[in-house]
């Protein structure tokens, strides 16, 4: 995605909250989501975040905001007059860019469309958000070599990193029906567990509940069944990115994951942030993608000059926790770790290309998870499994409580933002979820 006038750091909006330093949603961002207002009988609608407000695209289209913006922008706006983003995602990059340009121009200071568009603004506070798209299929990858190595050392000390890891973007097909939006209440799962030292498993609530700090990738136009997606075209099929918490039951996972990988340890819940940041908005934050000289270099179908030049994306990621006790005592959220998506071993384009290498037909609204994003240092671990060394080193919270894994009532919050010299910081908002007690055993 090339830079254009929407990335100009000098742009300011007539929506004053968008101009506040540190805002996640300045005019240079304009992410898409799906919402409805309390008490509103209408279906969910597509919105675009600007400061602490959002543009109701259906209302803006009805008000004629996009008249004269060009056929592509009008087609994009009309596709957004639906209860999810799938029709808009299916249109492709030219329509996405045209609508984003029209919104950028309408939201700028001294825009002649201010009076018309202002009637379509709604506050984000108090809105009810939904998963931005109907997710037909969900695939979770494993793109952080640091996370893979850390987990491997805990599970397989003599062979932490499996030999295929540096050759192939590893992934597994997950469950889309249990994916919820930020604010999701997650019930502690009950499943079969083999406890340490036991000779047979038991059916019990998971005692080792964890989060996984991930980036979600929403797909745009799909490919025809049987047709692969070349690496140089892969990002034309990607609509945008969000924050993603892939909740995990580690004790369930340890018992079930061989030989076919995760099952009940993962399919009970995953949570996405409500706003999807487009690849175009992320253009200023691209960085070279590198592979250490001593590591295997990608096979030709997963390599290109363009990938090497700007295949990585600089997204700063943070994990926070607030226990039930902390909330009652008025203590703020406590940061557990931070990392950066640019450290991923495999890029967004490589994930897409490998997924479709056998002709698998991706579709608009499909979701790819990046896998847990951990960095090279201990404080950059993207899961409690890593931070607590498999439960052997408890973490102390500001309330004096300790954690090796999550307790009932814990709220986990992810935040993400992009910063680069000469450009305006843009954010992803947040994704949060709270762990509830397991249902009573029958």
Active site residues: 147
Report which of 48, 135, 46 is spatially closest to residue 88, judged by C-alpha positions.
46
Contact between 373 and 213 under an 8 Å Cβ cutoff? The reply is: yes
Output the CA angle 375-24-363, nearest 5 degrees.
Answer: 70
Three-class SS state of 181: strand
Both tokens of residue 333? Answer: 């959220």
Q: Is the dihedral angle over the CA atoms 24, 266, 354, 152 positive or is it negative?
A: positive
Compute how many other C-beta atoms are within 10 angstroms of the C-beta atom of residue 19.
16
Compute how many other C-beta atoms are within 10 angstroms of the C-beta atom of residue 342.
20
């Amino acid at each position: 995605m090339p830079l254009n006038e929407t990335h100009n750091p000098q742009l300011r909006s007539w929506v004053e909250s968008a101009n506040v330093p540190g805002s996640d949603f300045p005019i240079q961002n304009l992410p898409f989501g799906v919402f409805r207002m309390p008490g509103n009988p209408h279906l969910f609608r597509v919105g675009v975040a600007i400061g602490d407000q959002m543009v109701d695209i259906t209302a803006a289209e009805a008000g004629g905001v996009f008249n004269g913006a060009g056929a592509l922008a009008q087609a994009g706006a009309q596709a957004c007059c639906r209860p999810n983003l799938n029709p808009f995602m299916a249109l492709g990059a030219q329509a996405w860019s045209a609508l984003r340009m029209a919104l950028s121009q309408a939201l700028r200071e001294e825009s002649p469309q201010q009076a018309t568009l202002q009637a379509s603004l709604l506050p984000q506070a108090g809105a009810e958000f939904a998963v931005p798209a109907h997710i037909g299929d969900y695939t979770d990858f494993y793109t952080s070599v640091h996370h893979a190595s850390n987990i491997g050392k805990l599970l397989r000390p003599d062979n932490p990193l499996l030999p295929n890891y540096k050759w192939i973007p590893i992934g597994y097909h997950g469950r889309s029906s249990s994916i919820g939006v930020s604010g999701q209440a997650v019930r502690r799962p009950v499943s079969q567990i083999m406890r340490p030292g036991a000779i047979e498993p038991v059916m019990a609530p998971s005692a080792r509940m964890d989060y996984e700090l991930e980036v979600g990738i929403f797909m745009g136009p799909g490919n025809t069944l049987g047709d692969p997606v070349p690496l140089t075209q892969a990002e034309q099929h990607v609509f945008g990115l969000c924050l993603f918490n892939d909740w995990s039951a580690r004790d369930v996972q340890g018992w079930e994951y061989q030989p076919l990988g995760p099952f009940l340890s993962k399919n009970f819940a995953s949570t996405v942030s409500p706003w999807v940041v487009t690849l175009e908005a992320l253009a200023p934050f691209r960085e070279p993608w590198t592979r250490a000289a001593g590591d295997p270099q990608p096979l030709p179908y997963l390599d290109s000059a363009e990938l090497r030049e700007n295949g990585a994306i600089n997204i700063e990621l943070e994990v926070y926790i607030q226990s039930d006790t902390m909330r009652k005592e008025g203590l703020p959220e406590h940061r557990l770790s931070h990392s950066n998506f640019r450290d991923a071993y495999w890029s967004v384009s490589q994930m897409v290309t490998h997924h479709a290498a056998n002709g698998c037909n991706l579709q608009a609204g499909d979701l790819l998870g990046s896998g847990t994003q951990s960095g090279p240092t201990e404080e950059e671990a993207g899961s409690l499994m890593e931070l607590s060394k498999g439960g052997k080193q408890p973490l102390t919270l500001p309330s004096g409580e300790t954690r090796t894994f999550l307790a009932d009532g814990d709220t986990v919050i992810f935040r993400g933002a992009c910063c680069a010299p000469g450009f305006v910081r843009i954010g992803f908002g947040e994704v949060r979820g709270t762990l509830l007690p397991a249902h009573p055993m029958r």
